[in-house]
């Protein structure tokens, strides 16, 4: 396998559920340790890595608001959940020997730096992994949108969206055995067909700024490294 990365700076988007493992909620220590080891391997290739994590393993704002909770309050709680995940991943990365900084869009100076774009870029240039917590800092925006926004702000070349499936399908592959996997899609395909790559706000943001999205399977060990070294796995979303 080629050991030369195809990118200089990436943004890795992890779902909160990825940290929960088989238990379905909370943080599985073995899973987060495994993810940290994979990120360490990629960082050793000399790649600059920023990370955005969801909070769905702890609290889902959208689910709470559909159950009658005020949407803004629910979203703020979801943002706090992403900060908890960010701190957990930071701890796992530092134990793996990776120097890491957490920047939060909601200021909480005792536990994380405030989000400052220029400082984030400086950390990346110095070889530190930067984890962006608390979404965009605004309710009504998902962590997918936060990932798109931060990736554009820091000048990342691609968003790597790590999921539980090996790409984007025309139907749920767990429910429909005839589901077909796409190797490539355009942003418009995703928006028109309502494919669950990212939500429409995040996809539109990537489209307007010509930022590619690669959806791949995180559950296969070594996949992050394969993706950054240019192996054709997952589904790539680009312009025409």
- Give the domain CATH number at 84: 3.40.1160.10
Domain count, the chain: 1
Predicted confidence at residue 22, as pLDDT, reads: 87
- Who contacts 105 (Cβ-Cβ below 8 Å, separation ≥6)? 79, 115, 132, 133, 134, 135, 136, 137, 146
Predicted confidence at residue 173, as pLDDT, reads: 86
In a domain, 186, yes or no: yes
Each residue's pLDDT, cut to its tens digit, for the chain (240 residues) gives 447 899 999 999 999 999 998 888 999 999 999 999 999 999 999 999 999 999 999 998 888 999 999 999 999 999 999 999 999 999 999 999 999 999 999 999 999 999 999 999 999 999 999 999 999 999 999 999 999 999 999 999 999 999 988 999 998 888 898 999 999 999 999 999 999 899 999 999 999 999 999 999 999 999 999 999 999 999 999 998
pTM of the model: 0.95
Cα–Cα distance between 188 and 112 in angstroms, integer?
A: 37
In a domain, 215, yes or no: yes
**Range(s) of the domain holding residue 167:** 9-238
Predicted confidence at residue 1, as pLDDT, reads: 47
Among 124, 95, 111, CA closest to 36: 95
In a domain, 63, yes or no: yes
Predicted confidence at residue 62, as pLDDT, reads: 87
3-state SS, one letter per residue, for 103-134: EECCCCCCCCEECCHHHHHHHHHCCCEEEEEC
Neighbours of 111 (CB within 10 A): 13
In a domain, 176, yes or no: yes
In a domain, 4, yes or no: no
In a domain, 1, yes or no: no
């Amino acid at each position: 396998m080629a050991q030369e990365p195809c990118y200089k700076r990436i943004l890795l988007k992890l779902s909160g559920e990825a940290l929960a493992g088989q238990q379905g909620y909370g943080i599985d220590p073995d899973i987060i340790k495994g993810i940290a080891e994979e990120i360490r391997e990629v960082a050793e290739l000399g790649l600059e890595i920023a990370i955005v994590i969801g909070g769905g393993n702890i609290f889902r704002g959208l689910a709470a608001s559909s159950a009658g909770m005020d949407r803004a309050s629910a979203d703020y709680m979801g943002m706090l959940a992403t900060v908890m995940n960010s701190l957990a991943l930071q701890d796992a990365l530092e134990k793996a020997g990776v120097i890491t900084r957490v920047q939060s869009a909601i200021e909480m100076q005792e536990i994380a730096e405030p989000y400052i774009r220029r400082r984030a870029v400086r950390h990346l240039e110095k070889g530190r992994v930067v984890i962006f917590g608390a979404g965009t800092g605004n309710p009504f925006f998902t962590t997918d949108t936060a990932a798109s926004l931060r990736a554009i702000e820091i000048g990342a070349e691609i968003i790597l969206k790590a999921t539980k499936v090996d790409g984007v399908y025309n139907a749920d592959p767990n429910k429909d055995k005839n589901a077909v996997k796409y190797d490539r899609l355009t942003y418009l395909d995703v928006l028109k067909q309502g494919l669950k790559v990212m939500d429409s706000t995040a996809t539109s943001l990537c489209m307007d700024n010509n930022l590619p999205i690669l959806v791949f399977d995180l559950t296969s060990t070594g996949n992050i490294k394969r993706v950054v070294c240019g192996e054709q796995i997952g589904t790539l979303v680009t312009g025409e």
